[in-house]
Amino acid sequence: MEECRAAARQIAGMSVSVKKLFLLSLLLLPLPAAAYERIASLNLCLDQILLNWVAPEKIASVTWLSANEHYRSAPLPEQVHLNRGRAEELLRLQPDLILVGQFGAQRAARRLRDLGLNVVAIPDAYSLEQLRDQLGALENTLGQLQPLQKQKQQLDKLLAAPMPPAQASALILSANNITYGDGMLEHQLLERAGFRNLAAKQGVKQLGRVSLEEVIAAQPDLLVFYGGEKDFAVAHLAARHPALKNYIDSGRTYTLPAELGFCPALVAADVLQQLTDKRKSFVEAR
């Protein structure tokens, strides 16, 4: 209350011209999520941000992709309209905030802006640096939502710590024997957690392939699985090679959540913390 009185006294002491400029600047500031009553999204990741972090009654529309259980990580409210990225759909809904990604649905976004709707572009994130920018843009747009603040503060704390020395090795194994090397967010997470990514050490840039025999020959301390059960059955892999079963039985595995691939803002901070804890457990066991 005292802060409000102080602000009122400050405004009262301004000249008329300065007061007008001050009030105009307030109008230009983004409204917090609590001020928006109908929020829509034209991007799969931003769909998940809304479904996980914003009150259900405030969500007017998300993309049709979020009806797929493979992508959806939170309940889909009954009243939410599933859009296919067309301006006409959202125009009928009259949302007071429309979130769009950096690249997709740009034609619809331009059309909606031209029609006077409030469209905000949120940058995509393919690295830890871009992820921090994305979380900052979400905070500026949606306000200080508790789940958003938790992820942002946790990530900032982990990244502010000195880079730990690589005290253990790891290798990512995904569906179709895909592995992740240098230039990928997954690689950054391993390095930041104190692991040597053996794929990157072997010269893999971004994505590569690795046979099960090569995985066994590399002898990583940690075998990192990637993908949901429908796409990547760990039990099936274990049956194909007994050495993999030993990894699973001894707890020398970690499974990256599927959300990391299409909306890392939801899980990257938690993944980094869990991988860091995993590396510490290996060091302590030696």
In this prediction, residue 23 carries a pLDDT of: 46
Percent of the chain with pLDDT over 70: 83
Q: Report the predicted TM-score, pTM, of the whole model to 2 decimal places.
A: 0.79
For 236-248, letters b (16+ CB in 10 Å) and e give: ebbeeeeebeebe
- Residues with Cβ within 8 Å of 20's Cβ and at least 6 positions away in sequence, in order, are none
Let me know: does 70 contact 76? Beta carbons within 8 Å.
no
137-186 pLDDT, tens digit per residue, is 999 999 889 999 998 898 888 888 888 888 899 999 887 788 999 999 99
Q: Which domains does the chain have, with CATH numbers?
A: 33-157 (3.40.50.1980), 164-285 (3.40.50.1980)
Q: Which of 19-28, 139-148, 255-264 has the lowest mean pLDDT?
A: 19-28
